[in-house]
Protein backbone atom coordinates (compact mmCIF):
# COMPACT_ATOMS: atom_id res chain seq x y z
CA UNK A 1 0.00 0.00 0.00
CA UNK A 2 1.43 3.36 -0.99
CA UNK A 3 0.93 6.19 1.46
CA UNK A 4 1.15 9.76 0.22
CA UNK A 5 2.74 12.32 2.49
CA UNK A 6 1.22 15.78 2.98
CA UNK A 7 4.08 17.63 1.30
CA UNK A 8 3.51 20.19 -1.45
CA UNK A 9 4.97 19.32 -4.85
CA UNK A 10 8.27 21.09 -5.40
CA UNK A 11 10.51 21.40 -8.42
CA UNK A 12 13.56 19.14 -8.44
CA UNK A 13 16.27 20.65 -6.27
CA UNK A 14 19.96 20.59 -7.12
CA UNK A 15 21.96 17.84 -5.49
CA UNK A 16 22.67 18.63 -1.87
CA UNK A 17 26.22 18.07 -0.62
CA UNK A 18 26.71 14.77 1.20
CA UNK A 19 29.48 15.92 3.53
CA UNK A 20 28.77 18.93 5.76
CA UNK A 21 31.63 20.33 7.83
CA UNK A 22 30.33 22.51 10.65
CA UNK A 23 32.51 25.12 12.34
CA UNK A 24 32.32 26.61 15.83
CA UNK A 25 33.39 29.84 17.49
CA UNK A 26 36.62 28.16 18.59
CA UNK A 27 37.39 26.90 15.09
CA UNK A 28 36.78 30.24 13.34
CA UNK A 29 38.98 31.99 15.93
CA UNK A 30 42.03 30.02 14.83
CA UNK A 31 44.51 32.12 12.86
CA UNK A 32 44.65 29.50 10.08
CA UNK A 33 40.87 29.06 9.82
CA UNK A 34 40.44 30.50 6.31
CA UNK A 35 43.37 28.46 4.94
CA UNK A 36 42.07 25.23 6.49
CA UNK A 37 38.46 25.89 5.44
CA UNK A 38 39.55 26.63 1.87
CA UNK A 39 41.60 23.42 1.79
CA UNK A 40 38.58 21.45 3.02
CA UNK A 41 36.41 23.04 0.33
CA UNK A 42 39.01 22.20 -2.31
CA UNK A 43 39.06 18.54 -1.23
CA UNK A 44 35.26 18.19 -0.94
CA UNK A 45 34.31 19.98 -4.15
CA UNK A 46 30.66 20.13 -5.18
CA UNK A 47 29.56 17.29 -2.89
CA UNK A 48 30.75 19.08 0.25
CA UNK A 49 29.67 22.07 2.29
CA UNK A 50 31.35 24.17 4.94
CA UNK A 51 28.89 25.60 7.44
CA UNK A 52 30.05 28.94 8.78
CA UNK A 53 28.71 28.60 12.29
CA UNK A 54 29.97 31.04 14.90
CA UNK A 55 27.06 32.11 17.12
CA UNK A 56 29.18 34.42 19.29
CA UNK A 57 30.83 36.22 16.35
CA UNK A 58 29.86 39.80 15.63
CA UNK A 59 28.03 40.40 12.37
CA UNK A 60 31.00 42.22 10.80
CA UNK A 61 33.34 39.32 11.57
CA UNK A 62 30.87 36.75 10.26
CA UNK A 63 30.48 38.79 7.08
CA UNK A 64 34.26 39.06 6.67
CA UNK A 65 34.69 35.29 7.04
CA UNK A 66 31.76 34.66 4.72
CA UNK A 67 33.22 36.85 2.00
CA UNK A 68 36.52 34.93 2.12
CA UNK A 69 34.76 31.57 2.00
CA UNK A 70 32.47 32.71 -0.83
CA UNK A 71 35.58 33.15 -2.99
CA UNK A 72 36.57 29.56 -2.18
CA UNK A 73 33.02 28.46 -3.00
CA UNK A 74 33.34 29.92 -6.50
CA UNK A 75 36.76 28.34 -7.05
CA UNK A 76 36.03 24.88 -5.63
CA UNK A 77 32.29 24.35 -6.26
CA UNK A 78 31.94 23.38 -2.59
CA UNK A 79 29.03 25.02 -0.85
CA UNK A 80 29.26 27.78 1.70
CA UNK A 81 26.34 27.54 4.13
CA UNK A 82 25.90 30.27 6.71
CA UNK A 83 24.26 29.12 9.91
CA UNK A 84 21.47 31.13 11.49
CA UNK A 85 22.05 34.26 9.38
CA UNK A 86 20.12 34.46 6.11
CA UNK A 87 21.16 38.11 5.78
CA UNK A 88 24.86 37.23 5.83
CA UNK A 89 24.32 34.29 3.48
CA UNK A 90 22.65 36.60 0.97
CA UNK A 91 25.17 39.44 1.18
CA UNK A 92 28.24 37.23 0.76
CA UNK A 93 26.71 35.02 -1.94
CA UNK A 94 26.58 31.75 -0.01
CA UNK A 95 24.73 28.87 -1.66
CA UNK A 96 22.78 28.09 1.48
CA UNK A 97 21.68 28.97 4.98
CA UNK A 98 21.19 26.57 7.89
CA UNK A 99 18.33 27.49 10.19
CA UNK A 100 18.16 26.57 13.86
CA UNK A 101 15.44 26.89 16.47
CA UNK A 102 16.50 30.52 17.05
CA UNK A 103 16.57 31.47 13.35
CA UNK A 104 13.92 32.67 10.97
CA UNK A 105 11.29 30.04 10.26
CA UNK A 106 11.90 28.11 7.02
CA UNK A 107 8.94 29.64 5.18
CA UNK A 108 10.04 33.17 6.20
CA UNK A 109 13.55 32.45 4.90
CA UNK A 110 12.05 31.13 1.65
CA UNK A 111 10.06 34.35 1.18
CA UNK A 112 13.14 36.46 1.97
CA UNK A 113 15.57 34.48 -0.17
CA UNK A 114 13.72 32.24 -2.66
CA UNK A 115 16.89 31.25 -4.55
CA UNK A 116 18.87 30.30 -1.43
CA UNK A 117 19.05 26.64 -0.41
CA UNK A 118 17.72 26.41 3.14
CA UNK A 119 18.52 23.67 5.62
CA UNK A 120 16.65 23.15 8.87
CA UNK A 121 18.10 21.72 12.08
CA UNK A 122 15.62 19.27 13.60
CA UNK A 123 15.45 17.08 16.69
CA UNK A 124 12.30 15.06 15.99
CA UNK A 125 10.44 13.49 13.09
CA UNK A 126 7.58 15.98 13.58
CA UNK A 127 10.01 18.93 13.33
CA UNK A 128 11.47 17.38 10.18
CA UNK A 129 8.07 17.00 8.56
CA UNK A 130 7.12 20.58 9.47
CA UNK A 131 10.39 21.94 8.01
CA UNK A 132 9.87 19.89 4.85
CA UNK A 133 6.34 21.25 4.41
CA UNK A 134 7.72 24.78 4.92
CA UNK A 135 10.16 24.30 2.03
CA UNK A 136 13.48 23.19 3.56
CA UNK A 137 16.05 21.90 1.06
CA UNK A 138 17.53 19.45 3.58
CA UNK A 139 17.33 18.51 7.24
CA UNK A 140 20.25 18.42 9.66
CA UNK A 141 19.59 15.93 12.42
CA UNK A 142 21.69 15.79 15.54
CA UNK A 143 23.10 14.25 17.37
CA UNK A 144 23.72 10.77 16.04
CA UNK A 145 26.68 9.62 18.13
CA UNK A 146 28.13 10.97 21.36
CA UNK A 147 30.39 13.98 20.91
CA UNK A 148 31.82 16.55 23.28
CA UNK A 149 31.13 19.41 20.86
CA UNK A 150 27.34 19.04 21.12
CA UNK A 151 26.70 17.51 24.55
CA UNK A 152 23.52 15.79 25.55
CA UNK A 153 22.33 12.31 24.71
CA UNK A 154 22.81 10.95 21.17
CA UNK A 155 19.63 9.96 19.33
CA UNK A 156 21.37 7.24 17.30
CA UNK A 157 20.75 5.89 13.84
CA UNK A 158 17.14 4.88 14.58
CA UNK A 159 16.19 8.58 14.71
CA UNK A 160 18.04 9.31 11.45
CA UNK A 161 16.42 6.36 9.69
CA UNK A 162 12.94 7.36 10.92
CA UNK A 163 13.51 10.93 9.77
CA UNK A 164 14.76 9.81 6.35
CA UNK A 165 11.73 7.51 5.95
CA UNK A 166 9.30 10.30 6.91
CA UNK A 167 10.70 13.06 4.71
CA UNK A 168 11.32 13.19 0.95
CA UNK A 169 14.29 15.58 1.29
CA UNK A 170 17.90 14.73 2.19
CA UNK A 171 18.76 14.17 5.84
CA UNK A 172 22.25 15.14 6.99
CA UNK A 173 23.33 13.37 10.17
CA UNK A 174 25.74 15.25 12.45
CA UNK A 175 27.24 14.69 15.86
CA UNK A 176 30.06 12.21 16.34
CA UNK A 177 30.43 11.49 12.61
CA UNK A 178 34.13 10.72 12.40
CA UNK A 179 36.28 8.22 10.53
CA UNK A 180 34.76 5.14 12.22
CA UNK A 181 31.15 6.31 11.87
CA UNK A 182 31.19 8.39 8.67
CA UNK A 183 29.72 5.73 6.39
CA UNK A 184 26.76 5.27 8.72
CA UNK A 185 26.25 9.07 8.89
CA UNK A 186 26.21 9.49 5.08
CA UNK A 187 23.87 6.56 4.36
CA UNK A 188 20.61 8.34 5.36
CA UNK A 189 21.47 11.30 3.12
CA UNK A 190 22.04 8.92 0.21
CA UNK A 191 18.78 7.11 0.92
CA UNK A 192 16.80 10.34 1.18
CA UNK A 193 18.39 11.79 -1.98
CA UNK A 194 17.29 8.96 -4.27
Angle, helices 59-76/33-44, rounded to nearest 10 degrees = 30
Residues 82 and 154 in one domain: no
Residues 89 and 128 in one domain: no
Domain boundary among 66, 99, 132: 99
**What are the pLDDT digits (tens) for 125-153?**
999 999 999 999 999 987 666 555 555 55
Q: How is 132-185 classified by DSSP, letter by letter?
A: HHHT-SEEEE--SS--TTT-S---HHHHHHHHHHH-SS-EEE-SS--TTTHHHH
Mean pLDDT for 64-91 is: 97
* pLDDT value for 151: 53
**What are the pLDDT digits (tens) for 163-191?**
999 999 999 887 655 555 555 555 444 44
Residues 91 and 137 in one domain: no
Residues linked to residue 79 through DSSP beta bridges, in sequence order: 49
- DSSP 8-class letter at 15: P
- Please say whether the beta carbons of 80 and 94 come within 8 A: yes
**Please, what is the average pLDDT of the chain?**
83
Q: Give every CB contact of residue 117 below 8 A, 6+ residues apart in sequence.
A: 13, 14, 16, 79, 81, 95, 96, 97, 137, 138
Residues 142 and 70 in one domain: no
Residues 74 and 145 in one domain: no
Residues 25 and 94 in one domain: yes
Separation of alpha carbons 40 and 37, rounded Å: 5
Residue of 186 and 68 predicted with greater confidence: 68
Evaluate whether residue 136 is within a structural domain. Answer: yes
* pLDDT value for 152: 56
Residues 124 and 190 in one domain: yes
* pLDDT value for 141: 87
Query: What CATH number is attached to the domain comprising 40?
Result: 3.20.20.70
Residues 194 and 149 in one domain: yes
Residues 124 and 194 in one domain: yes
Peptide bond into 143 cis (omega under 30): yes
Domain count, the chain: 2
Separation of alpha carbons 177 and 37, rounded Å: 18
Residues linked to residue 48 through DSSP beta bridges, in sequence order: 19
Residues 133 and 179 in one domain: yes
Confidence band for 158, pLDDT divided at 50, 70 and 90: confident
Evaluate whether residue 34 is within a structural domain. Answer: yes
The predicted model scores a pTM of 0.81
Residues 140 and 194 in one domain: yes
- The boundaries of the domain holding residue 93 are 15-99
Domain boundary among 69, 99, 129: 99
User: Does 4 have pLDDT greater than 60?
Assistant: no
User: Does 192 have pLDDT greater than 50?
Assistant: no
Q: How far is CA 55 from CA 17, 62, 164, 170, in A?
A: 23, 9, 28, 25
Among candidates 19, 21, 4, 11, which has minimal Cα distance to 149? 21
Residues 89 and 46 in one domain: yes
The Cβ of residue 111 has, within 10 Å, a number of other Cβ atoms equal to 11
Evaluate whether residue 158 is within a structural domain. Answer: yes
Amino acid sequence: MTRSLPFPPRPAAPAVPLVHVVTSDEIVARPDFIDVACAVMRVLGARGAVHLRAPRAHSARLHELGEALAVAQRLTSAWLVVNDRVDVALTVGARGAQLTSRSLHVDDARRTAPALAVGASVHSVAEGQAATRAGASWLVASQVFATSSIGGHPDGMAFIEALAAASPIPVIAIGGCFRGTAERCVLPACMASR
